[in-house]
């Protein structure tokens, strides 16, 4: 899960965290993103934010793999 933060002066910061075990529900991704943003805001109090983005990488389909597929 990755969070991108752009300040009013156009400085851009990213914070990311790998999630283990992998998650497939948006509420779990939201929780991790909020933690990342919260930590950044504690380090940068009073900062005006121009843009906030949340992303994911190394994604895989949800569900159980087929037992008989080679």
Residue among 58, 62, 51 at smallest CA distance from 26: 62
Q: Which helix (H) or strand (E) holds 5?
A: strand 2-7
Angle, CA of 3, 65 and 59, to the nearest 5°: 15
pLDDT value for 21 = 84
Report the Cα 67 to chain-centroid distance in Å: 31
What is the tens place of the pLDDT at every residue in 6-59?
999 999 999 999 988 888 788 999 999 999 999 999 999 999 999 999 998 887
Output the pTM of the full model: 0.79
Distance CA 59, CA 70 (A): 21
pLDDT of residue 20: 87
The owner of tokens 């939201």 is 30
């Amino acid at each position: 899960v990755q969070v991108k933060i752009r300040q009013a002066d156009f400085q851009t910061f990213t914070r990311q965290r790998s999630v283990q075990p992998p998650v497939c529900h948006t509420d779990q991704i939201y929780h991790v993103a909020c933690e990342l943003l919260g930590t950044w805001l504690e380090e940068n109090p009073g900062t005006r934010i121009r843009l906030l983005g949340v992303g994911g990488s190394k994604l895989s389909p949800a569900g159980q793999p087929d037992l008989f597929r080679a």
